[in-house]
Structure 1
Amino acid sequence: MQQKYKNWMRKNLFSAVTILLSIGILAFFMGTEEGARNLRHALFHLQPVWLLWIAAGVLAGWLLEGYVLHLFCRHLYKEWSFGKSFYVGMVGLYYSALTPFNMGEPMEVYNMTKMGMNIGASTSIIAVKSLIHHAVTFFYSLVLISFELNYFQTRVSNFSFITIFGLISNSIFIILVTMFMTNEKLTNSLLRAIARFLDKIKLHKASEKFYNKVHDQLMVFHDCSKIIGRSFPLYTIAILLTLVQITIASLISYFVYRSFNLKGISVFTMVAADTFVTMVASFVPLPGSSGGAEGGFYLFFREFFGPAILPAITLWRISTYYLNILFGGVIVYWGKRKYRGSESKNIQN
């Protein structure tokens, strides 16, 4: 029993530290006397109808996350069920909330292969989906913020620095993923460089085994990427649904605003601010973009919420972050028992 407890602690220690870190950041925001007083006041005056809208927005985001992934899975593997896609999507959200540098995507690939999908195909699907999500968020946020540029320039401190950080980090990611997907010579050169390094440190057998195994999977990856890349209707539907998903996610900040019985700020302005904050904070190298998400929300929304800004951050993070951990943990546990315990054949491309 004691050994099982130690094994459980080893596996879950990082997750526990991550959650405590995130709670600590929120506690820091709420640690002032004014913050605690405003929180108590806000809790007694929240509007139940808008809390239901928040819940509906969160649920819609989860379903769309699974469905967009399902479009690509079904494109390569006709037998793949929506239940599996929803499970994998929640795995991504769950581990992105618990690990630094948003490591949810490698965990999605790992679980897809455990359910029988070829690693090349699963990597291709996650790479394409991730590229679409980041690209849509990037360009959508820039378009929205351009309409409100003068407003945010005059009201958000360090707006130029935040913009430059968001532009550079997202551009680098989009370019690298695109090159990796489309340039077989580049990925093969990177693979050879790793193999040469293993040779230099006297791991010749490991080098040869590594190259042969990964090279075969990379060929499958590029083949799958080409198959997906030829389907423009698939891309169009995925982009449109991702646009809807991002819009719904951004509307949650407006629902939070209305739940405090506040009025006067347009939906468009709040969606623009939320999308931009999400785009910039996505590359903060802490679990769930902790610190960056709260800080960005504070900078962009404090004028909207006034004295209620700290309770608003709390409710917003509960809705967009902590629920991913709570519900994601349940789905990860359930899906592992239901899907990973069953045998299924690899995809034949």
Structure 2
Amino acid sequence: MKAIIKKYVMNFVWIFLFAFVALYFSLKGEFHLIMDTIRNAKVNWIIVAFIFMVAYNLLEGYALSIFGKLYNKAYSFRQGVVNSFCATFFNGITPFQSGGQFAQVYVFNKQGIQPSYSASILLMNFIVYQSIVVLYTLVIVLFKYSYYSKNFSEFFSLALIGFAINFVVIVGLFIGAKSRTLQSFFVNVVLRIGAKVRIVKDYETTAMKVERHLEDFRNELKVLQKNKNILITVSIINVLKLTVLYIVPYFCAKALSLDIAQLHVSEFIGITAFIYMITSFIPIPGASGGSEGTFVIMFGFLLGGVGAKSSMIVWRFVTYYLMLILGALVFALDPQINRKE
């Protein structure tokens, strides 16, 4: 227990350290201009941004409650929302958002869904979410490729790499789950080659894990195929969820009274989608440092230097720090999670 507490304390140290460094370089030389811009912010638009972030978690909770009812008819929307906020907190304080799913399994268990079923729920949720992320980003790339490649050439390339990795992962999982031949080729040929060149350390263990994960993926795909109404509903929820998340910088810019009259909301959505695509590979809790820097560089073209930096501070406060606090409060105060067995 002491080791776990120490680990989380160190994660918080890294979060604030990298956030401090990012803020230092963002505010350097323009501190007073940025502070004046933030000081005159319209609180009503910040509240709107906060409401949208709460809505994001409500939508995620709704999706979890739909999957939860497959294994526990009494599983409620409220329980799904609690689970979502807890995941937000633990994802935010662990590298690569790795702690969220472990916390969700714990919360599901407290809510009356045993770990084997909760693992199925999380895998189905991952399948739908990851598929929608790839499709959503693909639509943005197809319709806005020339615009983004021209104005954001360097970072657009990083976003395309991130998109390609996500695309390959989800397509590879689908094909591997559907094709036993491809699964056999990957396990018996690709992994063996990887072991020979010492990329794969333990061939037997890795092969067993790959086969187990593909089998789990295959089983949950069958569940989704049998419940097409659930699949369609959760897919729509995820489209709404991503749109709600990606539109928040627009409200942050409105709060700071920036000149965005000539800009379309879709431009904010597209750029924010690429920011999340890039920062998802930063191995620091909350992608601290990378998120701030990427936001400033990407939005600097639309909002100007001071505008982008000011918006970044408001955006980061609303989407990360406020949600971190809210998730921690939900986890600490929810009576069902904290009841004694």
**What TM-score do you get using the length of structure 2 for normalisation?**
0.81
8 Å Cα contact 1:120/1:224 also seen in 2:
no
Q: Is 2:44 aligned against 1:46?
A: no
Q: Summarize the alignment of residues 148-167 of structure 1 with structure 2, pairs less than 5 Å apart.
A: 148-167=144-163
Are the equivalent residues in 2 in contact too, given 1:144–1:272 (CA < 8 A)? yes
Is residue 2:80 matched to residue 1:80?
A: no
1:61 aligns with 2:26: no
1:245-279 deviation per Cα after TM superposition (whole angstroms, max 9, x unaligned):
11111110110111111223111111111122222
SS of the equivalent of 1:174 reads helix
Identity %: 23
CA contact (8 A) 1:91 1:107 kept: yes
CA distance in 2, matches of 1:222, 1:65: 23
Preserved CA contact (<8 Å) 1:181 1:222: yes
Letter in 1 for 2:132: V
- Mapped partners of 1:225, 1:269: distance in 2: 34
Query: Do the aligned residues in 2 keep the contact of 1:169 with 1:283 (CA within 8 Å)?
Result: no
Change (3 A) 1:31 1:159: closer
Structure 2 distance, partners of 1:149, 1:85, is 37
| Residue equivalent to 2:296 | 298
Q: 1:22 to 1:230 in 2, by over 3 A?
A: farther
SS of equivalent to 2:339: coil
* Per-residue deviation, 1:313: 1.0
Conservation of the 8 A alpha-carbon contact between 1:247 and 1:271: yes
SS across alignment from 1:37:
helix
CA distance in 1, matches of 2:155, 2:5: 42
**Greater alpha carbon shift after TM alignment, 73-82 vs 58-67:** 73-82
SS in 2 for 1:78: coil
- Consecutive unaligned residues of structure 1, counting only runs of 5 or more, are 194-206, 344-349
Alignment of 1:15-26 (within 5 A): 15-26=11-22
- The Cα of 1:122 is off from its aligned counterpart by 1.0
Structure 1 pair 155/139, CA: closer, same or farther in 2 (3 Å)? same
User: Residue 65 of structure 2 aligns with which residue?
Assistant: 70
TM-score if structure 1 supplies the norm length?
Answer: 0.79
Letter in 2 for 1:304: L
Partner of residue 321, structure 1:
320
Matches within 5 A, 1:177-326: 177-178=173-174, 226-262=222-258, 263-264=260-261, 265-306=263-304, 307-326=306-325
Contiguous gaps of at least 5 residues in structure 2 = 192-204
Amino acid at match of 1:260: L
**Paired residues of 1:121 and 1:224 also in contact (CA < 8 A):** no
CA RMSD, Structure 1 to Structure 2 (Å): 3.1
Deviating more after overlay: 9-18 vs 311-320: 9-18
Residue 101 of structure 2 corresponds to 105
Aligned pair count?
A: 315
* Equivalent residue runs for 1:325-336 within 5 Å: 325-335=324-334
What is the CA-CA distance between 1:176 and the residue it aligns to? 5.3
- The separation in 1 between residues aligned to 2:82 and 2:255, in whole angstroms, is 30
Q: 2:6 aligns with which of 7, 10, 18?
A: 10
Q: Are the equivalent residues in 1 in contact too, given 2:159–2:275 (CA < 8 A)?
A: no
Q: 1:280 to 1:27 in 2, by over 3 A?
A: closer
**Alignment-mate amino acid for residue 290 of structure 2:** G
Distance 1:281 1:178 in 2: 25
Shift of 1:98: 0.5
Contact 2:15 2:284 in 1 (8 A): no
For 1:132, the equivalent position in structure 2 comes to: 128
CA distance in 2, matches of 1:331, 1:287: 20
Asked whether the equivalents of residues 124 and 225 of structure 1 are also in contact (C-alpha less than 8 Å), the reply is no
Given the alignment of the two structures, is residue 33 of structure 1 paired with residue 32 of structure 2, yes or no? no
